[in-house]
């Protein structure tokens, strides 16, 4: 009996009742990215809510409709309207484990002359009488130096003595966070992975603060297609503002601080940020 008691004691020593966290549902969430040159600005406003048992993390989102959302810059003020059916609102996918109609919380407005680099935009958002403000300054777009537009780039990896693909660019000196990605034109479901021996990243390569990268391999995988084929693609080099930099920094580790989780915002979690991209059309050619 004593042995059993001792064994039980030893086993229970490895456990301490966990403390269930108060998730504090009902938090207001705002997500917005203003890409330089776009004429349409879209903002998603949601609240977190308790989820059913089978929902990961037991949280879900509910759209917030009926808010008054305004985007303001030196050149004027734009009223964003609740436009659940607008194409811009499809850019906010819901969590995989739930399927609420988040588009009800999407607000869209046309920015006359497009979103301008160097301009500071502020968000004034009044959902349910609660004041949420945000601010961001749009960065200037970078430009590619190499490879040349339309270049044929061999995919499938460069192992076996092949030369790496050198990508060079300019205009990111002042950007706090810069990424390089590749996409297949008109085939958003395809996944392109870029590998560099020097830098982190697969589908998205973090290239701050460099002005070039040697890609060791590019691999393309498209759903339902096992044979590699030649595809029209583009390299996308994106510079982000400081608020998105703060926001994304928190996702590199397991948890975020208050500042990281409400980057550029006051009164809500999420991010109100801006970006500027350069797009380089290329052709991906499968390696023989």
Partner 1 sequence: MIAYLFVLLSIGAGIQGTVRTRSSLEPIPGAVVTIPELKRTVTADARGYFVISDVPEGRWNVEASALGHATHALTVVSTGTGVIRIDFELAVEPVRIRDLEVRGGQAGEDQGGVRANTSAGPPAVRVDVASLRLQPGLAEPDVLRALQVLPAVGSISDLSSALYVRGGASDQNLITLDNIPLFNPYHLGGIFSAISAGAVSRVDVWAGAQPARAPGDRLSSTVAIHSRDGGRDQLRGEGAIGLISAHGVIDGPLPGRKGSYLLAGRRTYIDPAIAAANKLGLTDFRMPYGFSDLYGKATHSVGLLGTVSASAYLNSESIDFPESMRTDSDGDLLFNWGSRMFSVGYRQALNAYLLLDARAGYSDFHGSFDWWDSDFATEPPAKVLDGRTLARDLLVGVDLTWYRPSHTLLFGLQSDNYLFEHRLESDSGFVNDSVLLQSFNRAARERTVAAYVEGEFQLSDDFDLRVGLRHLGTDDLGNAWLPRAALRWKLGDYVAVSASAGRFAQAIRSMRNDESYVASILAYDLLTAQEKEAGLSRGDEVTLGAEWARGASTIRLDAYAKRMNRLVLPHTLEAPLDMTALTIDEYRIGTGSVRGLELLASHRVGETRYMLSYALTRSSRRVGSDVYIPRFERRHMLDATAITSLGQSGVFSTRVSWGSGQPFTPVETVVVDRTFDPATGTWRYPNAAVIVGTHNSDRLPAYFRVDVAARKQFTTQWFGRETKLSPYVQVLNLFNTHNVMFGELMPAAEPRLQYTPQLPILPTFGIEWRF
Per CB under 8 A, residues contacting partner 1 are 6, 9-10, 12-24, 27, 29, 31, 33, 35, 38, 44, 46, 48, 56-59, 61, 90-96, 179, 181-183, 188, 192, 200, 204, 234, 236, 238, 244, 248, 250-258, 261, 269-271, 273, 275, 277
Nearest distance from residue 254's CB to partner 1, in Å? 5
Q: 153, 158, 230: which is closest to 190 by C-alpha?
A: 230
Between CA 285 and CA 158 the distance in angstroms is: 13
Between CA 98 and CA 240 the distance in angstroms is: 30
Compare residues 128 and 197 and give the one whose CB is closer to partner 1.
197
Nearest distance from residue 288's CB to partner 1, in Å? 25
Compare residues 217 and 277 and give the one whose CB is closer to partner 1.
277
DSSP state letters, 50-86: EPPTTSGGGEEEEE--S-EEEEEETTEEEEEEE-TTS
Q: Under 8 Å CB-to-CB from 25, ≥6 apart: which residues?
A: 47, 48, 49, 50, 59
Compare residues 40 and 78 and give the one whose CB is closer to partner 1.
40
Compare residues 75 and 252 and give the one whose CB is closer to partner 1.
252
Nearest distance from residue 118's CB to partner 1, in Å? 19
179: tokens are 């990424």
């Amino acid at each position: 009996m004593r042995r059993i008691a001792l064994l039980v004691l030893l086993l229970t020593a490895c456990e301490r009742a966990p403390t269930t966290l108060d998730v504090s549902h009902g938090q207001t969430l705002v997500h917005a990215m203003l890409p330089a040159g776009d004429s349409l600005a879209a903002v998603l406003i949601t609240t977190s809510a308790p989820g059913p048992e089978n929902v990961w993390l037991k949280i879900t989102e509910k759209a917030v409709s009926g808010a008054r959302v305004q985007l303001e810059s030196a050149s004027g003020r734009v009223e964003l309207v609740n436009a659940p059916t607008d194409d811009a609102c499809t850019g906010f996918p819901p969590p995989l484990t739930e399927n609420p109609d988040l588009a009800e919380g999407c607000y869209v407005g046309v920015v006359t002359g497009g979103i301008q680099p160097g301009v500071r935009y502020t968000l004034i958002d009044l959902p349910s009488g609660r004041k949420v403000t945000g601010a961001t300054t749009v960065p200037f777009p970078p430009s590619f130096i190499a490879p040349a537009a339309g270049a044929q780039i061999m995919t499938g990896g460069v192992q076996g003595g092949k030369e790496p693909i050198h990508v060079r660019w300019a205009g990111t000196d002042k950007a706090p966070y810069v990424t390089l990605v590749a996409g297949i034109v008109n085939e958003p479901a395809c996944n392109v992975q870029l590998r560099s021996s020097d830098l982190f990243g697969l589908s998205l390569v973090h290239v701050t603060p460099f002005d070039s990268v040697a890609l060791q391999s590019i691999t393309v995988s498209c759903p339902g297609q096992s044979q590699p084929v030649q595809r029209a693609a583009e390299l996308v080099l994106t510079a982000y503002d400081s608020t998105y930099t703060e926001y994304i920094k928190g996702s590199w580790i397991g948890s975020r601080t208050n500042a990281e989780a409400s980057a550029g915002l006051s009164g809500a979690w999420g991010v109100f940020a801006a970006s500027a991209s350069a797009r380089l059309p290329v052709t991906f050619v499968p390696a023989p």
